[in-house]
Structure 1
């Protein structure tokens, strides 16, 4: 009887040894199958400056799904409807930047033969509106005839005291009917008396 019990125990022990081994093999297999595969590297933005728009657009379309946005590099120059031959001056993103499929790409262009501006959006013909040269208007001299009663053709009796009559030239004095003017009369001054004979604007 004791021998029979021992045999049963041995058989039970053998069954217990086999079950754990099978269970241990299954998790190991599951772990190995779940290992993630390496993801492909993100492409970089190509260098497009200097290329024609058609070539640059074709290169970008291979990497992104969104349309390439084109604009004029000059703020005061409209982009031509047919700008395929325009050259790339500036690009966003910059060359070498990571480029996702949904990335937005913007290219600033100039017409063939035109130089690129120093920065995108600069004006081709900056406004040079110099302030109009303004010559200050000289105040017009008073050309009213003498009002102190002195005769313009007298012999010098009038003194013109207190008069503010001033003539810039003999032409103004003659136009005002005040010429000739003798020394002491309103409007007389030596600058108008060319021959210094005491009579201004007499010729």
Structure 2
């Protein structure tokens, strides 16, 4: 009798366990948390990007920017020495900021550098179209004489004395003056190095 009662209790417990398991499975939610087909897709989207303006006229560039950014386009001359014309609608765009395809926000500012029709773009914004003429090359200084080889002194200008005898020789300038031969130039009769103390080519001067 006791064994029969124990077996009935075991069967009742097993039935209760199966019933609870089935309820738990039915209560499991199906939706976004399970990662199944009911999951909500992640939001996606991208902001506006900067249009390409280089090569366009100023008027075309402003028309392209207007739908993207509310701020007016800031225009300037691409050359530092060329003022921007008041009516620059047909000037061509050489440089733009931000660059093309750059993502922009609603408060971004747009700058374009322009050149007049028929004028080539510079290599960089702010260059000079008419650079100042270079200063004339400095004159090459004349090299000074080698201090180790000074130039010989030039004879002093002065009246040419009467030529003396071909074999004249004077021991000193007193004799030359007494003979009326002073001053005596180098190469003239009577000239001697002992009479030309300053070696300027004129003795007894």
- TM superposition score normalised by structure 1: 0.53
**Counterparts of 1:35-46 in structure 2 under 5 Å?**
38-40=44-46, 42-46=47-51
Change (3 A) 1:144 1:86: farther
Partner of 2:102: 98
Equivalent in the alignment of 2:161: 154
Give the stretch that moved more between structures: 62-71 or 121-130.
121-130
Which SS does the other structure have where 1:90 is aligned?
Answer: strand
Any idea what SS the aligned residue of 1:81 has? coil
1:142 to 1:154, Cα distance in 2 relative to 1, 3 A: closer
Conserved in 1, the CA contact under 8 Å of 2:58 and 2:92? yes
RMSD: 4.5
Q: Secondary structure at the match of 1:57?
A: helix
Partner of 2:59: 54
Counterpart-to-counterpart distance in 2, 1:142 and 1:74: 61
2 CA distance for matches of 1:83 and 1:142? Answer: 73
Q: Deviations over 1:3-34 (max 9, x none)?
A: xxxxxxxxxxxxxxxxxxxxx9xxx9xxx9x9
CA contact (8 A) 1:64 1:99 kept: no
The 3 A distance-change label for structure 1 pair 67 and 185 is: farther
- TM-score norm. by structure 2 comes to 0.52
Alignment partner, residue 166 of structure 2: none
Asked if 2 retains the 8 angstrom alpha-carbon contact of 1:66 and 1:101, the reply is: no
Answer yes or no: is the 8 Å Cα contact 2:78–2:122 preserved in 1: yes
Q: Is the CA contact 2:50–2:104 (under 8 Å) kept in the aligned structure 1?
A: no
Q: Alpha carbons of 1:155 and 1:115: their partners in 2 closer, same or farther (altered >3 Å)?
A: same
**Cα distance per residue 1:31-60 (max 9 Å; x no partner):** x9x9885445x1221111111101101111
Query: Does the Cα contact within 8 Å between 2:54 and 2:94 map onto a contact in 1?
Result: yes
- What's the offset of the Cα at 1:132? 4.3
Between the aligned partners of 1:129 and 1:143, the Cα distance in structure 2 is 45
Q: Distance in 1 between matches of 2:154 and 2:82?
A: 55
Check 1:145–1:61 CA distance in 2 against 1; reply closer, same or farther (3 A cut).
Answer: same
What is the count of residue pairs matched by the alignment? 154
SS of 2:59's partner is helix
Post-superposition CA distance 1:100-121 (Å, at most 9, x none): 2431111110000000011111
**In the alignment, which residue of structure 2 is the partner of 1:176?**
none
Question: Is residue 79 from structure 1 mapped to residue 84 from structure 2 by the alignment?
Answer: yes
